Amino acid sequence: MQKQKASKKLGNAFKGDNIELGAGCGNFGQRFYPVCLLTDADEGIGTRCSNNHIDLCCSANEIPVGDDSFRVAIICNPWQYGFNDPSEGIQILEEIVRVLKGRGRIIIIGSLTNKYCAPEKVSKTIDAAKSRLSAQLTIRCVKAIDSKKEYGDYIFRTSGGDEIFPSMRIEIDVTK
């Protein structure tokens, strides 16, 4: 409980425009969307990663920061959370919409075969969430990417630490 209060304080004091959810051992948001608050649900992240960049420990469906805080929300390679389970996907979208400012964007980077972020799952979740969201969500693009060409020497990792090579990026416009 004490930790949650401390996290909330940190989140609300943050002055950057962007947030990364499920950042794991990486710092993608800080490198490519500065200034970015890095978050992850794993409270043991400090022992899992040799280099821990996480600013705030929280789940993507319960972000302890105030409404209208960020312009961009980023999710890279979600695993065991995300858009596979429709009700969880809706909760995540509701929470992201809440923390985004009036005109925001969601960036999802992953692989087409990852059921937690496959474009059809994301699209279905947006449709299912429509009546519950206080914003209009429009998929701006689903782009095939070569992660090495696009992001150079940045290394994306599985939860177990192996390097992975995302093959697509979804960009969603959020208008409140």
Which residues of this chain interact with ligand SAM, rule CB under 6 A? 21-24, 26, 40-42, 59-60, 76-77, 79-81, 156-159
Cis preceding linkage at 35, omega within 30: yes
Task: Provide the b/e sequence for 91-117 (b: ≥16 CB within 10 Å).
Answer: bbbebbbbbbeeebbbbbbbbeebebb
Please, which residue, 77 or 125, has the CB nearer to ligand SAM? 77
What CA–CA distance (Å, rounded) separates 23 from 52?
Answer: 10
- Residue whose CB is nearest to ligand SAM in the complex, by number: 24
CB of 135 to ligand SAM, least distance (A): 20
CB of 81 to ligand SAM, least distance (A): 3
Burial class (CB in 10 A: 0-12, 13-18, 19+), 146: exposed
The residue to which tokens 């914003």 are assigned: 135
Please, which residue, 50 or 131, has the CB nearer to ligand SAM? 50
CB of 39 to ligand SAM, least distance (A): 7
Question: What is the distance of C-alpha 29 from the center of its chain?
Answer: 9
CB of 24 to ligand SAM, least distance (A): 3
CB of 102 to ligand SAM, least distance (A): 24
Residue type, 119: P
